[in-house]
Amino acid sequence: MSLKREIEALARGMGADLVGVAPVERFANAPLRMSPQGLMPGARSVVVAAIHHPDAAVELGGEPRQQVVGPYAVQYWMNSRLDDISFRVARLIESHGHRALPIASSNIWRYHPYKDLNVSFAPDLVHRYAAVAAGLAEIGWNNLALTPEFGPRARFVSIVTDAALEPTPMYDGPPLCDRCMACVRHCPMDTFRKETKGLASVEIGGQRYEFPQTNKWRCAWAENFDLSLSIPAPEKVTEEVILENLERYGQDGGAEGNCLKFCMVPERRVSDPQYCKAPRRKKTPSAETPAELLGRLNRIFEDGLLDVLAVGRAADFAEDGPVHPRLHLPDAVSVVSVGIRVPRGAGGHPDLDAQVRRRLVYAAMDMAHELDIQGYSAICLTRIHDTLVAERLGVFDGEVRFATVLTSAELPSTRRCDHAKVAAPTAAEIRDLCRAAGADLVGMFDMDRFAAFREAAKGLDLASRPAEEVEDKGLIYGPFVPAVTHREVAMRGPEDWLAGARSVVVLGMHLPDAALDTAKTTPAETVGPYVFACHESVQLLQDVGYQLIRRLNRSGHAGVPVADLTALASTVKSPRGMLPDMRSNRFAALLAGLATIGRNGSPLTPEFGVRQRFLAVVTDLPLPSDPLLPGDLFCPKCDGRCVSSCPTAALRDGGMVLAIEGTEFHVPSVDAFACDWAKRLALSGKEGPQYVGMETDAPVPEDRTASAVAAAVAHTTWGVQKRYLTIGEECIRVCPAKGQGGRASQPE
């Protein structure tokens, strides 16, 4: 199979409806800093994948007012799935020996012009324009990408690569925007008429598109900044006006954009005012039988690791009962309930809770999407009472979390509960399962190994987090509102995460090399793809961990995912919230025989050097310890550039020695206060803020107290860019340890 077909098969298998390839020549008119070549010199192609919103989510969302998004919240989960596709497609391309840079689906951008780039709200790459260049879409008057199949109801993601992939021809059908002006009439901020600067004109692959040059601050009032649409819209909207209104009124909620909701391409536009205010999308139900449609849901049930699937008829929900499917989907015929059993040992564990939610919503989204593509109405994430639906369909169980899908498709009634018990997995089976699920590295250790580590660590100061931390209690935009928390920094162990713990499985995932190789240094001068790769690898590791935990649960064992086993590491600021920092789980990785610790304090592996993230899964299943690595990697032969590159001089010469089972490992001392200053508090420009145009650059104070931090953050002008601050740790970026790549075999 050609690489292009492999990419397409992977993306479609993960839920993409459209996949196209744009040669970089079609980006000739893009500003260099926002072009594939500016992001990654030598780029030759851009892969673009799209997922269609279930129509009903667009048509029925945003009611009774735009800022009650309701089922349109599916867009956030579509973005998550697109992120998964971006990362995994990049890794697939890399496995063929090419470079590939995955771009985030959304929510990482510079709000203000940057150096010679005179663009506001500038992402690393505009996916809408990439979609046009990949032959998937045209640009409408609303400046959205309109596809012939779905109109504006598709979200996109792009991957930049130096592989020369066969281009997809440009779209050459009838115009997809007929200037109906519904987008203009329905915009609550009147963005297409007020504060415009004539027409913008873009030329992509020989096709020219014109649309109003809008004031993006105006457009973003509710859509991005969550300001209430009940506040009278100001004549002129600027960052200052946004911040003033945020300070005065706070945030309301994100809005479903009417420029998307009320737009549909002429060939597919249908008016049905009894059903919804928006135009509907014309589609024809497939010829599949109800049993065949149910077969599709069964496959999602199996792939989605669900425990419960039940289908009933909407007409069987009594009028005088508490649940009325047709209030949520007017043409509902069938009601689908899906459920996941709360994993054993979860005990309110936040990462496990989040993972159950992610799996459940993904499954409901996939089912709604599948039925929609088959030509039916289908919706999830409505306000229907999921547990009452499950009870009505006869599958309620207090240990199961539920989600509901409503559809106009007729489906056979069914009930399926998967309670099969299986034997406990062996160590070899765990490795196979985790690798098949996407882990690049798998290692394990038992409690004796951890006890030896605890003993070796006596008297050493292994913490790389300060005891006093300053957190931001403000809004995601505007001033940093400091609050000081005091926490005892003490080593935690497996038993602290799971009573009766017997062993720990450590999972590693490699970051696409291009994400690090391009950070800060290519003409784009961005850290966006790197922070995206860090966030996404954390997500995907949680997915792998969840698959392992389910397997453990089915054999009667418990497991919990742990971001940092010893709780001695800190966090790093990212546009997606705080992430575990690169030192997280370094001791777990060392004890599992996967890593040593570099002078930058981060785990280094023979396979990938510094370029991976780790997750630990603590379990009560006894497992054998893997051999430790024979001693320090990379650093003894390196010039120590991590030390000299650190903007806050947080890495010191010298350090400590951990002697475990007769092997010595060096652990550097890290000045946790100085390190957090740059990576957790974003107070050092060189670490990242300067690449989004921030002038923040405060020296580390002599007075190393939380009060000094509070004073520094309070005196910094953050503006709205605070939400999208990107940090690229210098000691990681400059580290030459890249490993040998590939999947080195692990001891069995």
Q: Helix, strand, or coil here: 339? A: strand
Q: Tell me the one-letter amino acid at 541.
A: L
How many CA atoms lie less than 13 Å away from 98 in the CB half-sphere? 25
Query: Based on CB atoms, which residue is closest to ligand SF4, 357 or 641?
Result: 641
Phi, psi of 690 (to 5 degrees): -65, -20
Query: Based on CB atoms, which residue is closest to ligand SF4, 321 or 640?
Result: 640
Q: How far is the CB of 187 from ligand SF4 (least distance, A)?
A: 10
CA distance 181 to 175: 14
- C-alpha angle with apex 93: 92 to 98, nearest 5 degrees? 145
Residue 682 structure tokens: 């974003």
Longest CA pairwise span in the chain (Å): 76
CA distance 283 to 297: 20
CA dihedral (674, 680, 684, 688) positive or negative: positive
CA distance 426 to 555: 11
Query: Based on CB atoms, which residue is closest to ligand SF4, 159 or 604?
Result: 604
Q: What is 575-623 written as a DSSP string?
A: TTS-EE-TTTTHHHHHHTTS-EE-TTSSEEBTTTBT-EEEEEEEESS--
Query: Based on CB atoms, which residue is closest to ligand SF4, 57 or 610?
Result: 610
Q: How far is the CB of 684 from ligand SF4 (least distance, A)?
A: 7
Query: Based on CB atoms, which residue is closest to ligand SF4, 86 or 215?
Result: 215
Q: How far is the CB of 727 from ligand SF4 (least distance, A)?
A: 8
488, exposed or middle or buried, with CB in 10 Å at 0-12, 13-18, 19+?
exposed
Q: How far is the CB of 574 from ligand SF4 (least distance, A)?
A: 13
Give every CB contact of residue 360 below 8 A, 6+ residues apart in sequence: 306, 338, 339, 340, 401, 402, 403
Contact between 699 and 473 under an 8 Å Cβ cutoff? The reply is: no
Beta strands in 233-286 (DSSP E): 269-270, 280-281
Alpha carbon 602 to its chain centroid, in Å, reads 23
Q: How far is the CB of 355 from ligand SF4 (least distance, A)?
A: 27
Q: How far is the CB of 151 from ligand SF4 (least distance, A)?
A: 7
Query: Based on CB atoms, which residue is closest to ligand SF4, 398 or 636?
Result: 636
Give every CB contact of residue 111 below 8 A, 6+ residues apart in sequence: 120, 121, 239, 693, 719, 720, 721, 724
Contact between 65 and 258 under an 8 Å Cβ cutoff? The reply is: no
Query: Based on CB atoms, which residue is closest to ligand SF4, 341 or 465?
Result: 465
Query: Based on CB atoms, which residue is closest to ligand SF4, 214 or 648?
Result: 648
Query: Based on CB atoms, which residue is closest to ligand SF4, 142 or 612?
Result: 142
Query: Based on CB atoms, which residue is closest to ligand SF4, 257 or 493?
Result: 257
Phi, psi of 725 (to 5 degrees): -80, 130
CA distance 19 to 136: 8
The site for ligand SF4 (CB under 6 A) is made up of 140-142, 177-183, 262-263, 598-600, 610, 634-635, 638, 640-642, 646, 648, 650-651, 675, 678-679, 687, 729-731, 735-737
Bridge partners of 270? Answer: 280
Q: What is 675-686 written as a DSSP string?
A: HHHHHTS---GG
Which CA distances in Å does 692 have to 192, 238, 474? 27, 18, 20
Query: Based on CB atoms, which residue is closest to ligand SF4, 89 or 441?
Result: 441
Q: Tell me the one-letter amino acid at 584.
A: S
Residue listed under structure tokens 């059908």: 173
Query: Based on CB atoms, which residue is closest to ligand SF4, 44 or 573?
Result: 573
Contact between 618 and 518 under an 8 Å Cβ cutoff? The reply is: no
Query: Based on CB atoms, which residue is closest to ligand SF4, 179 or 454?
Result: 179
Q: How far is the CB of 635 from ligand SF4 (least distance, A)?
A: 3
Q: How far is the CB of 460 from ligand SF4 (least distance, A)?
A: 18
Q: How far is the CB of 639 from ligand SF4 (least distance, A)?
A: 7
Q: How far is the CB of 636 from ligand SF4 (least distance, A)?
A: 8
Query: Based on CB atoms, which residue is closest to ligand SF4, 424 or 489?
Result: 489
Q: How far is the CB of 437 from ligand SF4 (least distance, A)?
A: 29
Q: How far is the CB of 140 from ligand SF4 (least distance, A)?
A: 3
Q: How far is the CB of 603 from ligand SF4 (least distance, A)?
A: 10
666-675 per-residue burial string, b: 16 or more CB within 10 A, e: under 16? bbbbbbbbbb
Q: How far is the CB of 646 from ligand SF4 (least distance, A)?
A: 3
